[in-house]
Structure 1
């Protein structure tokens, strides 16, 4: 099975993405290229609606992306929305990971990977992100964004690859928890 990373508009207070639509994406019902609208939620008569999604059409790991520099800007309403969303995702048995981006904005020595996990300020931001999302610290992965660099930086790459490894391990857990689905998908594709 190939790795497919899907990016979609973020959950926020000023966009048209609803909890219902997010869950439809995770369950694999939303056709590729669908345009979301608050007035037109994804339902069974939506053009291209996938009634019986295959394992490959479902999301195996949801990755929340939160900026370390913006954690304090989220409202209590958004915190509640994140918690509701996580409850629904957990009920589906889907793994969840949180990427804490822009760690260089809160970490004293962002270029030294060995120091990223030792910084008390970063740990505080990770705890805040965990409280915001309702996730344990073990589900949080700090990353430094490429924003001004003109060349690749090994320390930044190490953090990004560590995040990818965390996501892949979560996908593996999902597939282990759903062996009947993984086996039927493999035999159907043979």
Structure 2
């Protein structure tokens, strides 16, 4: 299962409330819950899931960042990312970064779309993100977005599916160490 959430924002009261993060990761937030940037869900909320099962929990968090905006990420935004990252690590959840909008990086496309991780521009951006957020390079992936295309592109699809497969492998490594639970297990929801 893939889930999307409001993004983080530099300003307080805008975007996802950071206090909601532990509840989301632990699976305490019900499906279709309407988040507020001003107020976190609390255990006394009528829809709060007090005893979530493994399938309710988040197994992988994906930060989705525009590769063209890496240099403009502020220190306040980095601090929020690290605050979320601390909660993610406390919950034993996988964390990856998806660098998007690579189609705007002409060097990447001029080299070879399938070998873009080897281009100088992409390597420097991956290293920059790794250092800025303290996330291992092997957990940072590049994908090209669909924006206004009317037809599917096999190269984009191949890369997207490759990244999804890598994310599933990361989650599988984490789940392998957990005791088995009865009931259905969803592969993983994403928070972006």
Category of TM-score, reference length = shorter chain: 0.7 to 0.9
Alignment partner of 1:86: what SS?
helix
1:9 alignment partner, SS class? coil
CA root-mean-square deviation: 1.9
Change (3 A) 1:122 1:107: farther
Question: Aligned residue for 1:158?
Answer: 158
Q: Quick one: distance in 1 between partners of 2:67 and 2:15?
A: 24
Tell me if the contact between 2:10 and 2:77 (Cα under 8 Å) persists in the aligned partners.
yes
| Residues 17, 38 of structure 2: 8 Å contact kept | no
Does the Cα contact within 8 Å between 1:9 and 1:17 map onto a contact in 2?
Answer: yes
* Contact 2:21/2:87 (8 A) holds in 1: no
Residue correspondence of structure 1 range 70-89 to structure 2 within 5 A = 70-89=69-88
Deviating beyond 4 angstroms after TM superposition, the runs of 4 or more aligned structure 1 residues are: none
Alpha-carbon distance between aligned partners in 1 of 2:99 and 2:134, rounded to the nearest angstrom:
14
* Structure 1 position 39, deviation (Å): 3.5
Mapping for residues 97-136 of structure 1, pairs under 5 Å: 97-110=96-109, 112-136=112-136
Give, in angstroms, the shift of residue 40 of structure 1: 2.6
TM-score for the superposition, normalised by structure 1: 0.88
Cross-structure match for 2:190 = none
Q: What SS does the aligned partner of 2:98 have? A: strand
1:11-42 deviation digits (Å, cap 9, x = unpaired): 11242422220221111011111112244311
Deviation at 1:81, TM superposition (A): 1.5
Structure 2: tracts of 5 or more residues without a match: 186-192
Q: Distance in 2 between matches of 1:38 and 1:156?
A: 33
Indicate the structure whose relative CO is greater, using CA pairs within 8 Å and at least 6 residues apart: 2
CA distance in 2, matches of 1:171, 1:43: 28
Q: Pick which of 148-157 and 97-106 moved more.
A: 148-157
2:173 is the alignment partner of 1:173:
yes
TM-score, scaled relative to structure 2? 0.87
What is the CA deviation profile of residues 66-91 of structure 1, one whole-angstrom value per residue up to 9, with x for unaligned ones? 11011122110111111121122112
SS state at 1:96 partner: strand
Aligned to 1:8: 5
For residue 142 of structure 1, what is the aligned residue in structure 2? 142
Distance 1:107 1:142, change over 3 A: farther
CA shift in 2, pair 1:151/1:93, >3 Å: same
Query: In the aligned structure 2, how far is the partner of 1:55 from the partner of 1:20?
Result: 21
